Amino acid sequence: MAVKKKAKPAATTDAKSIDLQKDTQEPGQILTTNQGLPVADDQNSLKAGVRGPTLLEDFHFREKITHFDHERIPERVVHARGSAAHGFFQVFEPLTELSKADLFQDPSKQTPVFVRFSTVAGSRGSADTPRDVRGFAVKFYTEQGVWDLVGNNIPVFFIQDAIKFPDLIHAVKPEPHNEIPQAASAHDTFYDFISLTPEAMHMMMWVMSDRTLPRSFATMEGFGIHTFRLVNAAGKSRFVKFHWKPIKGVQSLCWDESQKIMGKDADFQRRDLWESIERGDFPEWELGLQIVEEKDEFKFDFDLLDPTKIIPEELVPVRRVGRLILNRNPDNFFAETEQAAFHPGHVVPGVDFSNDPLLQGRLFSYIDTQIKRVGPNFAQLPINRPTCPFSNNQRDAESQQIVHKGRVAYFPNSLATGCPMHSPDAVAAFSSVAEKMDGNKVRQRSPSFADHFSQATLFWNSMADWEKDHIVNAFSFELNMVETQAIRERFLSELLANVADELAQRVGKNIGIKPARRNPKGITPEASAPIPKTQGRKSVTASAALSMDKPAPGIKGKKVAILVADGVDGKQVAALQAALAAEGALDEVIARFPGTVKTDAGKDLPVDRPAPNAASVLFDAVFIPGGAASAATLAQSTLAVQFVAETFMHGKAIGAIAEGIDLLNKARIDLPPDAGHVTSDQGVVTAPASRDAGAFAKAFIQAMTQRHYDRETEKLPA
């Protein structure tokens, strides 16, 4: 008789069952490391005291950030969409008292630089103009080595500790189940994360302003974000914030315009950078420093180490110390722009770090990212290679560029006479500031980081009325894209209501939710921690430097569309073209077809672009010259009427002379009373006849120095 075998118990840990395990995200599921170790705190890295540096011992942070760094091959996980150019930096006067860095010593010296601009959230193939933070990374090729100042066009960031960076980017990236939406934050996962992260609210105010819709790279500010240190030859250290101030002023697009540009010219900002350099209109910024003496570290009502805070310029003015000029385009996009590898840990003697926990994490993350993306020898690629001599005992590895000779690759040694050896010059070599550390090993946020709303309110209070309107509209648009009602309610009542009641009420009205009563304690443990008393410390309630409600210093590089047809007044066109050229502005003659049109004098006027290929969003202003036949043709053109109406809606300058005014009437734009001379109102400039061409050009150019968003409070053309 056959013996019946007993059934084996089901295996739960064999290879097959492990392969089939799924991340079910069950309620009550415990957060663990990849080895199954339960994690008690996933929001704070391990530090030497609550305000001390992050420790290399923090295996959980290193595992989390390393995995994140390696998630994308080969393009960057963040900042994938980039454009770049070569140039130089030149200091205005010696800064010996502040720093021993070589590039800050000699006003006659030009230090070569390579600057990469980027968007953060989108992929390499996304468009240039989404609502997004812009990267502003500068690589200085100094005589002491490479210094990478890796910043953004916003002076703060979403989070206070680098351990939360993977969560932030996972939340803002396309949702993993359907890879939607691309390069956009208006979706549930992002607002779910943000609504539970009140420390992000200052950054969110900047993101929902027009700061994240720059007109061009040349018209946006840059910031180092973190508090760094400058160290002089005597070893004296001072805290510093880095600023890049654009010579052309800060200029932005509006939201409707930026969306349309994505479809009309996805390379809008990349093209602008390339073409401006090619024609000699070199982008330029001034480097500004905010210096804080070590003895004044605690004189403010915020913590200098908190990357979600600015130092208002009213408290510490920005000292402009040098200029940055971009004057050469790359020869090869991949070899230079794409292979450029930045790292905030690339510093030179005279520049050092603070204990900002976000900066501390970046010092590990960036080198790990670059090793994965372009290999362990990324520093040997031509675009990353220092211009000064370099020598060490690192050998081999992927993509090794150097044929090392000799038998020695270690230190100390005697076979190579001890070389390469330690620098005998302590001043010339890099040395970290000898800062005393005294604290327990803790995974904890400093109580001085707990105020998440004061500077968000400061930003709101600093805005002009039209800027507040745009912020309200931006939040309303984004939240209306969020499908989960609870997330929308939480963000409105727990976060916006803590910034400004007016903001919460206006957004709530637009999304159909009444905000709950303000909750000043916020919703997370760190938000509800007691905030240290700050009586007597320096603070401000508004800062003029935060508002963009200022005219630009000129119109250099701006582009004007000139709408024409046969019979156009050629003298009016020529007069304005000459006036624009004198200011460094550009113009394009737009007509129904390419080729030429006949002027009223029978001459050929070259057409730069046919009307179907010329969208209003690609220009900064529009001019409609006179000429009865031309004006009559344009008034019958749907494209021309739409062009003018859209230009009006976006707050741009509009100019018309004589019969050209008929097109403005056709577009239903309210005009000032005809006084028989040049008239300008809300950026709409008109003149009754050619005899006023000089006065007209002057008024039109002045109107082009700013946007005229006061029109938004008026009735827009139908």
Cα dihedral: 613, 618, 619, 620 (round 10): 170
CA atoms within 13 A on the CB side of 590: 26
Note whether 142 and 88 are within 8 A (CB). Answer: no
Could you give the residue numbers annotated as active site? 79, 152
Distance (Å) of CA 310 to CA 203, 275, 294: 10, 34, 17
CA 236, chain centre distance (Å): 32
CA dihedral over 248, 312, 435, 358, signed as positive or negative: negative
Cβ neighbors of 15 (< 8 A, separation 6 or more) are none
Provide the b/e sequence for 14-53 (b: ≥16 CB within 10 Å): eeeeeeeeeeeeeeeeeeeeeeeeeeeebbbbbbbebbbb
411: three-class secondary structure by DSSP:
coil
Beta-bridge mates of residue 597 = 605
For every residue of 44-86, DSSP letters joined together read S--EESTTSPBPTT-HHHHHHHHHHHTSSSSS-SSS-SEEEEE
Q: Residues 263, 233: contact at Cβ < 8 Å?
A: no
Q: Please compute Rg for the chain using Cα positions.
A: 29
Give me the helices (H) in 350-464, please: 357-374, 454-461
Burial of 380 (0-12, 13-18, 19+ CB in 10 A): middle
Helix ranges (DSSP H) in 173-247: 188-195, 201-207
Burial state string for 406-439 with b = 16 or more CB within 10 A and e = fewer than 16? eebeeeeeeeeeeeeeeeeeeeeebeeeeeeeee
Round to the nearest angstrom and report the end-to-end CA distance of the chain: 95
Helices (H) and strands (E) in the chain, counts: 18, 21
Whole-angstrom distance, CA of residue 339 vs CA of residue 373? 9
Q: Verify cis geometry, omega within 30 degrees of 0, for the bond prior to 420.
A: yes
